[in-house]
């Protein structure tokens, strides 16, 4: 599966991402992002549980189960470490309003996963895993010292880690495998789901950059996707 244009055209050069890459992102923006992403991951983790239910073989069930564990106990642990450093408590998170972009994105993925089969679950999961894996690699490519930054280095290193990169690669491999047997109609349907999730990913970064709880994030140039 080829990397979509939205990665290079929009996401890699997003000011929020460049701020992490250069180590000069406003801490308040990162704090806003951390809370919203923590809320996001609670729902994202549920997709792996749905994937287990909809799997028809043991290997896929194991991968979904290990991904669920990794999300809850590794990725979210990094978030909890940052939240402790930023003075954010679990109570603060519970009392924080979920942004409309965040809520819309997770509800969309969960709806797709619940209504569809295993293919739909994997496609719904793919854009987040793939973008984060590629963002980390691009940051490291552009600035190899970013992963050693006193504050943002842990975030970069977490997504550069082989365990996360391998999960993203597994999604891509499974898409290529089942893609060989799809009808043109099915390919179009799954492509649209992936495209929508990529747009949500971009809007999530816009939301974090603007610290916005509503839909005031930048409009997307769909011709560039």
User: CA-CA distance, 57 to 177, in Å (whole number)?
Assistant: 14
Give the CA-trace dihedral at 125, 127, 128, 132, to 10 degrees.
Answer: 140
pTM of the model: 0.92
Contact 22, 77 (CB under 8 A): no
- In which residue ranges of the chain is pLDDT below 50? 222
Q: What is the pLDDT of residues 177-202, one digit of tens each?
A: 988 889 999 999 999 999 999 999 99
CATH number at residue 24: 1.20.910.10
User: For residues 197 and 182, what is the distance between their CA atoms, to the nearest angstrom?
Assistant: 20
pLDDT at 216: 64
Tell me, what's the pLDDT at 3? 72
Residues with Cβ within 8 Å of 51's Cβ and at least 6 positions away in sequence, in order, are 60, 64, 67, 113, 118, 121, 122, 125
**Catalytic machinery residues:** 128, 201
Q: Which domain holds residue 195?
A: 5-224
Residues 112, 114: Cα–Cα separation, whole Å? 6
The number of folded domains in the chain is 1
Longest dimension (CA), the chain: 51
Instruction: Find out whether 37 and 158 touch, Cβ atoms under 8 Å.
Output: no
């Amino acid at each position: 599966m080829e990397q979509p244009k939205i990665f290079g055209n929009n996401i890699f050069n997003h000011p929020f991402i460049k701020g992490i890459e250069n180590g000069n992102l406003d801490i308040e923006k990162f704090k806003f992002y951390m809370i919203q992403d923590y809320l996001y991951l609670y729902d994202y983790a549920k997709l792996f549980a749905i994937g287990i239910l909809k799997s028809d073989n043991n290997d896929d069930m194991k991968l979904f189960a290990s991904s669920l564990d990794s999300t809850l106990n590794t990725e979210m642990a990094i978030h909890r470490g940052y939240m402790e450093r930023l003075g954010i408590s679990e109570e603060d998170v519970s009392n924080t309003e979920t942004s409309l972009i965040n809520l819309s994105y997770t509800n969309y993925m969960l709806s797709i996963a619940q209504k569809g089969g295993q293919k739909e679950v994997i496609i719904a999961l793919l854009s987040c895993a793939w973008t984060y894996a590629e963002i980390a690699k691009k940051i490291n490519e552009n600035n190899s010292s970013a992963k050693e930054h006193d504050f943002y280095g842990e975030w970069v290193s977490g997504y550069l880690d082989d365990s996360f990169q391998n999960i993203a690669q597994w999604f891509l491999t499974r898409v290529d495998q089942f893609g060989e047997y799809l009808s043109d109609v099915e390919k179009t349907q799954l492509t649209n789901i992936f495209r929508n999730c990529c747009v949500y990913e971009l809007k999530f970064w816009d939301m974090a950059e603007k610290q916005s709880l509503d839909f005031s994030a930048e409009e997307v140039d769909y011709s560039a996707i």
